[in-house]
């Protein structure tokens, strides 16, 4: 349906709906539920250069209007992803995929991105400098404009594929960081990652999560995410991918009006595995209700 089509960093999407990294595995896990080719694309599980077991358990906690996670980037490592996961993906998904990459040093980001960029099915590299659940990497690069730019500049040297930088909301002012990424060569910005939060067990009087704190996600963070998408979209000249608490076609349109070119759906996938398919199917109805003839025409339309 042409009315749903958008273009992200020069790559056409059938629609703007993208399952977010960490909530959709490597794609084939959800192919048992529906034909995932209906998606615009998806961002696969955060991948690091070396395998990671993640954080100790418990590392998931439910809370009002969302959940906390401190999974800690558990993944098999980039070499295993290329050897095992991408061939499985090719059997069930026939569009370019977004590769989400995390690291604990600039060199790790560079090498993982170099390897993944060489894979034909990888359309975009989503550089995650915003994970709050690991020490010595992740969010530490994303809270300072100079550090963020350093990662982007280094990765830019090893690939011509679009680089989308995923930013953390856990900062005083996100605009200088977004602009630093753009100046360093980023082709797009995605935001927001999770907000740092915690829960305490009243019986044990101890934090619920083994790591004490975790990333808060789900519908409760949608207004914060929308505000930051609005801010960044008005401050940079590259596409913005909005995410954070999105769970309906109405949320997708609201994000796009704030300035998002495409919209990622995260925690909702863990609640309802077919939610992205359902949102895509519902978009034409919601568009008709609000007199929208083309989604590409409403990007930033609330300005």
Supply the Cα-derived Rg of the chain in whole angstroms: 18
Verify whether residue 131 is a known catalytic residue. yes
Angstrom distance (rounded) from CA 255 to CA 260:
6
Q: How are beta strands 200-201 and 206-207 bridged, if at all?
A: antiparallel
Which residue blocks in 91-210 are alpha helix, DSSP H? 106-117, 139-142, 145-156, 175-184
CB 86 within 8 A of CB 141: no
Which residue shows structure tokens 């490592």? 77
Angstrom distance (rounded) from CA 159 to CA 101:
14
Angstrom distance (rounded) from CA 203 to CA 88:
44
Angstrom distance (rounded) from CA 276 to CA 270:
11
The active-site residue out of 63, 92, 113, 131 is: 131
How many CA atoms within 13 Å lie on the side-chain side of 216? 19
Angstrom distance (rounded) from CA 208 to CA 69:
11
Burial class (CB in 10 A: 0-12, 13-18, 19+), 56: exposed
Give the tokens for residue 88.
């499985």
- According to DSSP, residue 56 is labeled P
Catalogue the active-site residues: 131
């Amino acid at each position: 349906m042409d009315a749903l089509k958008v273009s992200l960093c020069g790559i056409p999407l059938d629609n703007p709906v993208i399952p977010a990294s960490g909530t959709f595995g490597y794609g084939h896990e959800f192919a048992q539920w529906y034909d995932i080719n209906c998606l615009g694309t998806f961002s696969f599980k955060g991948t690091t250069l070396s395998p990671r077991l993640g954080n100790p358990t418990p590392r998931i906690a439910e809370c009002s209007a969302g959940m906390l996670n401190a999974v800690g980037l558990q993944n098999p490592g980039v070499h295993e992803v290329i050897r095992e996961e991408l061939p499985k993906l090719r059997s069930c998904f026939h569009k370019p995929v977004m590769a989400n990459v995390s690291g604990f040093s600039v060199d790790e980001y560079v090498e993982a991105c170099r390897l993944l960029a060489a894979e034909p099915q990888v359309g975009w590299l989503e550089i995650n400098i915003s994970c709050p659940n690991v020490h010595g990497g992740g969010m530490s690069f994303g809270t300072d404009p100079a550090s963020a730019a350093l990662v982007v500049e280094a990765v830019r040297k090893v690939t011509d594929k679009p680089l989308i930088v995923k930013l953390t909301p856990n900062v005083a002012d996100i605009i200088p960081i977004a602009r630093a990424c753009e100046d360093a060569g980023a082709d797009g910005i995605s935001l927001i990652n999770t907000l740092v939060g915690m829960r305490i067990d009243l019986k044990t009087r101890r934090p619920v999560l083994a790591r004490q704190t975790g990333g808060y996600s789900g519908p409760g963070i949608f207004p914060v995410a929308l505000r930051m998408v609005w801010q960044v979209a008005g401050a940079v000249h590259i596409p913005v991918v909005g995410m954070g608490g999105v769970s309906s076609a109405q949320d997708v349109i609201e994000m796009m009006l704030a300035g998002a070119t495409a919209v990622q759906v995260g925690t909702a996938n863990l609640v309802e595995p077919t939610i992205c398919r359902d949102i895509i199917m519902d978009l034409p109805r919601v568009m008709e209700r609000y007199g929208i003839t083309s989604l590409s025409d409403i990007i930033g339309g609330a300005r």
